[in-house]
Chain A
Amino acid sequence: MFDTTKMGISAVALCAALAGAAFAEGDAIKIGYVTGLSGACSSLSEDGLNGSKLAVDELNAKGGILGREIELIVRDSQTKPDEGGKQARELVASEDVDVLTGVCSSAVLLAVQAVAAEANVPHYAVIGSTQKANVEAFRPNFWQIQANATMEAYAAAEFVAKNADWKRIQPMGYDYEWGHTSVESFAERLKELRPDIEISNPIFIKLGDNNMGPYVAPALSTKPDAIYAAIFGGGLVNLIKQGQGFGLFQRSNLVTLLTVDALQSMGDAMPKERLFGIARAPFFALEKDAAFESFIDSYRTAYDEYPTDWAINGYDGMMIYAAAVEAAGSTETDALMPEVYGGTFDGLRGKGLTVRAFDGQMDAPAYVGAINFDPAFPFPTMKDVEVFAGGPLMWSEEKIQTLRDAAR
Chain B
Amino acid sequence: MIWVQLVNGLMEGMMLFLIASGLTLIFGVSRIVNFAHGSLYMLGAFFTYGLVPLIAPGTIAGFFAAVLLAGIGVALVGLIFEIVALRRVYGSADLMQLIITVALVLVIRDVVRWIWGPNSLSVPMPDALMGALIIGDNFFPIFPFVIFGAGLVVMLVMVVVIRFTRAGILLRAGTDDRGMAALLGINEKLIFTTVFATGALLAGIAGGLAAPYGDVNYLLDTTVIVTAFIVVVIGGLGNLFGAFAAAMLVGITKAMGILYFPRLSMVLIFLIMAAVLLARSLGRQGGPSR
**Partner-B contacts on A (CB < 8 A):** 39-40, 42-43, 46, 203-204, 206, 208, 210-211, 213-215, 217-218, 220-221, 233-234, 237-238, 241-242, 244-247, 250-251, 261, 264-269
Contacts and interface: CB of A to CB of B under 8 A. Distances in A.
Given A213-B8, A213-B11, A218-B259, A244 B122 contact: no
B119 interface: yes
Nearest to B1: A221
Contact of A246 (B121, B122, B139): B139
Contacts of B119: 43, 261, 264-265
A215 B4 CA distance: 11
B5 interface: yes
Interface stretch (B29-37, B170-178, B212-220): B212-220
B40 to A, nearest CB: 16
B26 interface: no
A247 B258 CA distance: 19
A185 to B, nearest CB: 20
Interface in B136-190: 139-144
17 contacts: A42-B118, A43-B119, A203-B262, A208-B223, A210-B214, A210-B215, A211-B15, A213-B12, A213-B141, A214-B12, A237-B122, A241-B215, A242-B213, A245-B132, A247-B132, A267-B122, A269-B125
A297 B7 CA distance: 49
B120 A251 contact: no
B225 to A, nearest CB: 11
Contacts of B255: 213-214
Nearest to A233: B120
Interface residues of B, number: 45
B142 A245 contact: yes
Contacts, number: 115
Nearest to B124: A268
Nearest to B9: A214
B134 A247 contact: yes
Contacts of A247: 132, 134, 139
B122 A241 contact: yes
A265 B258 contact: no
A213 B7 CA distance: 9
B210 interface: yes
Contacts of A261: 119
Contact of A265 (B120, B125, B219): B120
A234 B45 CA distance: 14
A245 B213 CA distance: 10
Nearest to B139: A247
Contacts of A234: 120, 214-215, 217, 219
Contacts of A208: 223
B5 A238 contact: no
